[in-house]
Chain A
Amino acid sequence: MSRRWLIGIYEDEAKVLAAVTGLRGAGWQVHDVYSPYPMPGLEKALGLKHSRLGWVAFLGAMAGVFGMLATELYVAVVAWPVNIGGRPFASIPAFFPPMFEAGVLAAALGTVGALLYVCRLYPGQDVEIEIPDVNDHRFAVALDADQAPQAAAKILAQLRKSGAVEVLDKQGVAQ
């Protein structure tokens, strides 16, 4: 599906934040903002909620730790019990280092996997909206024109007024 995007390109970070606040204040939905580095204060301007990826890390860590403990207990008690001078088969303290490593591994892989999934980042993925120089030195604000097709000119005017050095009205691939 192809969508129509209204894009304002900026050269000054502060103007971007003001523009986003202004556009949202005027009742428009801002699709996204593009910048060469993470902009402080953007999540507030865009009204983004706190990400829940921290929970993924927590669940991953728990899965790793207890999954490894279960594996170790199964191996050392059920599948391959070795009697070493009568010591207990379930020698929990000695099981901690593998549990720790498995916890870290599962948390890290789980969190990064979830990030790539929710941000739709895959190897060879096409860029959603191609905007020149946003990974270099420029900033951009993109709005979905379909939210109010007849008001496109008005939105473009507001983008220009907020300090955009260039405005684009282009078709892009939506995901």
Chain B
Amino acid sequence: MQQEHAVIDPIDEPLVQGNKTLQQVTRDVADHLDQPSSKAWWVGLGISASALALGGLCILYLMTYGIGTIGKNKTIGWGFLITNFVFWVGIGHAGTLISAILYLLRQKWRTSVNRSAEAMTLIAVMCAGLFPLMHMGRPWLFYYLMPYPNTRGSLWMNFRSPLVWDMLAISTYFTVSAVFWYLGLIPDLATLRDRATSKVKKAVYTLMAFGWNGSGRAWHRYELVYLILAGLATPLVLSVHSVVSFDFATSLIPGWHTTILPPYFVAGAIFSGFAMVLTLMLVARKTMHFEEYITQRHIDAMTKVILLTSMLVGLAYLSEFFVAWYSGSRYEQFHFLNRFFGPDGWWAWVMYGCNMVVPQVLWFRKVRENLVLVFIISLLVNVGMWFERWVIIVSSLQADYLPSSWNFYRPTIFDFGVMLGSFGLFFTLFLLFAKFLPMIAIAEIKHEVAHGGHAIKHGEAA
């Protein structure tokens, strides 16, 4: 029996509000690139560039006097720096998830946020890369990690080492993300080139747009390559945080030596990354007036991803406890008791509170629609995820098998300075990106506007 349904599918709700014409889309995204920067932008840049400069000074001090100036000691060799490294790599993951995995899953809502999320990935990986370099103590010797025939013996790197895997994974991740991001930018750069009025801008955009002219033959191949890159980036992003977790999981330290770490790290990375995307997007949509492009629907979808990954992370935490108890290993059991009730137990309470408990309020639609609350939750999740890495690294190292070598990690002002510098770098680069490049994928949005299920008004000016 056939029946006519008059059901309105919520999925069919237009992605972009305001019934835009193609021209309007270009203008909405590109106009602010031509206007003088707002006061808020300058204030933001001033603060983040100052933080970056302060971080730079701390790094200079660190390099001059050696890494003894930070809180590391004989027992705890991985501390603040590696925590920040894992934190920033994790932040990066959401960008690839949005740009590649959601693309393969045909989640069209990704279109409004993918460009800036990918930019966030690139910048976060740059911030991450800073920390292992400093952690080396002699960063000018970083090329020892590169596999090439050399005059040192020839002293090759050890391909069995998770640290080498890590270097290869992160550098591959950065390169592939950068290529993917730039490929997406090419059509939009051509749009900017065509509307540029100043000579300098025209020259720069001409250089960057690679002669793109919207050719149908080029689009035909471009779409295939975009799909291939999405298919390559998907296993890549899963591999990156898995490999980061191998740094820990292949060791014998209680709290590290566990097979659950790879999926646990990947879920945590997506969790923290989405929180950071939300933090940035909520500010950007307000200050840059993208409310019609980044709608409640997008925020709703992202908060739901946060809720889901919060529970995945929670499940991993609980499995960890269970395995510690069930394994019968006294060292594992002691570690988890120490994590909660030891002298620095408050770290764990912050971590579990922010990551497992706080996001549960996102079950309620009222909360998901209250943007101030969503913003606060996204910040708390980032705090919680920073503490997760801190707890995993430091609380595992500070009390392992040999009580005589137990110790505390007390970060010095230089630890905090370098971390502040990485946040400065992150926000400085993100603000520059927002100023000089289109934050929303213009061509992709146009495709959605034209084929997203509602009629389009052609041609006429707004």
Contacts and interface: CB of A to CB of B under 8 A. Distances in A.
A100 to B, nearest CB: 6
Interface stretch (B131-139, B232-240, B273-281): B232-240
Interface string B186-204: 1100110111000000000
Interface in A14-55: 32-40, 42-43, 46, 48, 51, 53-54
Interface in B217-263: 217-225, 228-229, 232-233, 235-236, 239, 243, 246
Contact of A119 (B22, B160, B221): B221
Contacts of A91: 160
A115 B246 CA distance: 35
Interface on chain B toward A: helix, strand, loop, or mixed SS? helix
B214 A35 contact: yes
Interface in B132-180: 147, 154-160, 164-165, 168-169, 172, 175-176, 179-180
Contacts, number: 193
A123 B208 CA distance: 6
Contacts of B26: 136-137
A149 interface: no
Interface residues of B, number: 66
Contact of A131 (B22, B155, B160, B213): B213
A134 B213 contact: yes
B194 A37 contact: no
Question: How extensive is the interface on chain A, given as a class?
Answer: 35 or more
B183 interface: yes
B206 A124 contact: yes
A32 B215 contact: yes
Given A37-B450, A97-B165, A121-B212, A42 B220 contact: yes
B450 A13 contact: yes
Given A38-B447, A111-B229, A134 B214 contact: yes
Interface of B: 21-23, 26, 147, 154-160, 164-165, 168-169, 172, 175-176, 179-180, 183, 186-187, 190-191, 193-195, 206-208, 210-225, 228-229, 232-233, 235-236, 239, 243, 246, 442-444, 446-447, 450-451, 458-459
6 tightest A-B CB contacts, nearest first: A125-B211, A137-B22, A33-B216, A121-B210, A37-B447, A94-B160
